[in-house]
A = this chain, B = another copy of it.
Amino acid sequence: MSQDRLEPLSAAASPETAHDGAARRVSAVGGVSADEPLRPLAIERREPGARDVVIEIEYCGLCHSDVHMVRGEWREVEYPLVPGHEIVGRVSEVGADVTAFGIGDRVGVGCLVDSCRTCEACRDGLEQFCSGNEQGAGVGTYGSVDYRNGGGRTQGGYSQAIVVDADYVLRVPTSLDAASAAPLLCAGITTYAPLRRAGVGEGTRVGVVGLGGLGHMAVKLAKAMGASVTVFSRTDSKADDAGLLGADHFVVSSDPDAMAAARQSLDVVIDTVAAPHELDPYLATIARDGRLVQVGLPADPMPPVNPRILAAQRVSYTGSFIGGIAETQEMLDFCAEHGVSAQIEMIGADEINEAYERMVAGDVAYRFVLDIATLPEPESLEAGAGARLS
């Protein structure tokens, strides 16, 4: 059986899978509908092919997009759905053709597990923009059609193991703490890529809007690149934290005088806020030819942008979307070199629904990481709906 499919235990016990010893049943945590809490599930991972790596997952970061996706807020999704694309673990098995990884290696998986490999974007090492070929296009780590492996839906990292093509597996330097490195696979590359693309280096003036999972990574990465960093936050409650993370300046964005004082003072602003918010006040803080990169993607429409502010200093409003495989590896190596990783709050499987509520409320310092060792063994799960999690 080559299909990456997710089934509750009852279905997994069907004759189709019972005859295939190579597929492996693992425990996971996922959603079964848009409005029910996450719960334990058993899923099956495919038999590894010649190019595959089997990873025993140790930690998986919780990303705000996991919440949007599992609740169907971004698009309609199929259930059950196991989120998770900030995956760190150890290699337990490699296919015959895999030379880049060996058993025991510490590795990571981010938002992508496959792409067409032939389009211009893939050839440019920008697999996140894969436009596809006749077979298919980029495959997200969860919720995507896994067309090269039977056409089932991919399932993510809130699970004990995952099978991934070696070309989409990252090497996680062992000098990084495994749990704190997990959020680098999404929050790290999401903020690293636009900083690099904007040419951030010694003395660049970087603004970071919002100090959450993405924002705290943006601060750390920009500082490691040599930038002077200004954090914008709605209240002063995070001022001390911003300083501890390395920020040089802190601006309370609800204070018009403070915002006016920051006028045209920045080269690049990374906006990490994932709820609709006015952009004009931040655009006004950008100097000539600077840019605002929105990396938080609200589910609801944003307020309009005033083109007059863009014209007045040739400011750009733009977006960014994770990074390619090579750049993600570059980011991990950069983090190892500069000792950068996420500030995390570790949770067990039974805390996941509470953690989701706290993410929605912005109450996390600064990234939840799920300790995969706390997942129940698949044998312990009842057939069918699975146990409830708090």
Stretch of A14-22, A159-167, A291-299, A348-356 with 4 or more beta carbons under 8 angstroms from chain B: A291-299
Stretch of A77-85, A313-321, A339-347 with 4 or more beta carbons under 8 angstroms from chain B: A313-321
**Neighbour of A317 across the interface among B121, B301, B313, B318, CB < 8 A:** B318
Instruction: Enumerate chain B residues within 8 angstroms of A312, measured Cβ to Cβ.
Output: 129, 319, 321
Instruction: Enumerate chain B residues within 8 angstroms of A320, measured Cβ to Cβ.
Output: 311, 314
Rounded to whole angstroms, the CA-CA distance of A320 and B298 in the bound complex is 27
Interface string of A276-295 (1 = CB under 8 A from B): 00000000000010010011
Q: With a 10 A CB-CB cut-off, give which of A305, A306, A320 has the most chain B CB atoms.
A: A305
**Neighbour of A301 across the interface among B291, B304, B318, CB < 8 A:** B304
Q: Which residue of chain B is the closest to A304 with respect to CB atoms?
A: B304
- Is the Cβ of B311 less than 8 Å from the Cβ of A307? no
**Neighbour of A316 across the interface among B291, B297, B307, CB < 8 A:** B291
Instruction: Enumerate chain B residues within 8 angstroms of A298, measured Cβ to Cβ.
Output: 307
Interface string of A93-131 (1 = CB under 8 A from B): 000000000000000000000000000010000100101
A266 contacts B by Cβ under 8 Å: no
Instruction: Enumerate chain B residues within 8 angstroms of A306, measured Cβ to Cβ.
Output: 301-302
Instruction: Enumerate chain B residues within 8 angstroms of A313, measured Cβ to Cβ.
Output: 129
- Is the Cβ of B307 less than 8 Å from the Cβ of A304? no
Given contacts A121-B288, A126-B288, contact A294 B314 (CB under 8 A): no
Given contacts A288-B126, A294-B307, A307-B302, contact A316 B314 (CB under 8 A): no
Instruction: Enumerate chain B residues within 8 angstroms of A318, measured Cβ to Cβ.
Output: 310, 314-317
- Is the Cβ of B311 less than 8 Å from the Cβ of A315? no
Instruction: Enumerate chain B residues within 8 angstroms of A291, measured Cβ to Cβ.
Output: 316
A308 contacts B by Cβ under 8 Å: yes
A315–chain B nearest beta-carbon distance, Å = 7
A256 contacts B by Cβ under 8 Å: no
Q: With a 10 A CB-CB cut-off, give which of A298, A305, A307 has the most chain B CB atoms.
A: A307
Instruction: Enumerate chain B residues within 8 angstroms of A126, measured Cβ to Cβ.
Output: 288
- Is the Cβ of B317 less than 8 Å from the Cβ of A321? no
Rounded to whole angstroms, the CA-CA distance of A216 and B304 in the bound complex is 27
A250–chain B nearest beta-carbon distance, Å = 25
Instruction: Enumerate chain B residues within 8 angstroms of A307, measured Cβ to Cβ.
Output: 294, 297-298, 302, 319
Rounded to whole angstroms, the CA-CA distance of A378 and B219 in the bound complex is 64
Q: Which residue of chain B is the closest to A311 with respect to CB atoms?
A: B319
- Is the Cβ of A314 less than 8 Å from the Cβ of B321? yes
Rounded to whole angstroms, the CA-CA distance of A309 and B316 in the bound complex is 14
Interface string of A241-257 (1 = CB under 8 A from B): 00000000000000000
Q: Which residue of chain B is the closest to A317 with respect to CB atoms?
A: B317
Q: Which residue of chain B is the closest to A296 with respect to CB atoms?
A: B307
A132-174 contacts to B (CB < 8 Å): none
Instruction: Enumerate chain B residues within 8 angstroms of A294, measured Cβ to Cβ.
Output: 307, 310-311
Instruction: Provide 6 A-B residue pairs closer than 8 Å at the C-beta atoms, listed in order of the A residue.
Output: A129-B312, A131-B264, A294-B311, A302-B306, A307-B319, A311-B321
Known contacts A298-B307, A314-B320, A315-B319; 13 further A-B pairs (Cβ under 8 A): A121-B288, A129-B313, A197-B314, A291-B316, A297-B311, A301-B304, A302-B307, A305-B317, A307-B319, A309-B319, A311-B320, A315-B318, A317-B317
Chain A residues within 8 Å of B, Cβ to Cβ: 121, 126, 129, 131, 197, 264, 288, 291, 294-295, 297-298, 301-321
Please provide the 8 A-B residue pairs with the shortest distance between their CB atoms, ordered closest to farther: A311-B319, A310-B319, A316-B318, A316-B316, A294-B307, A304-B304, A311-B321, A317-B317
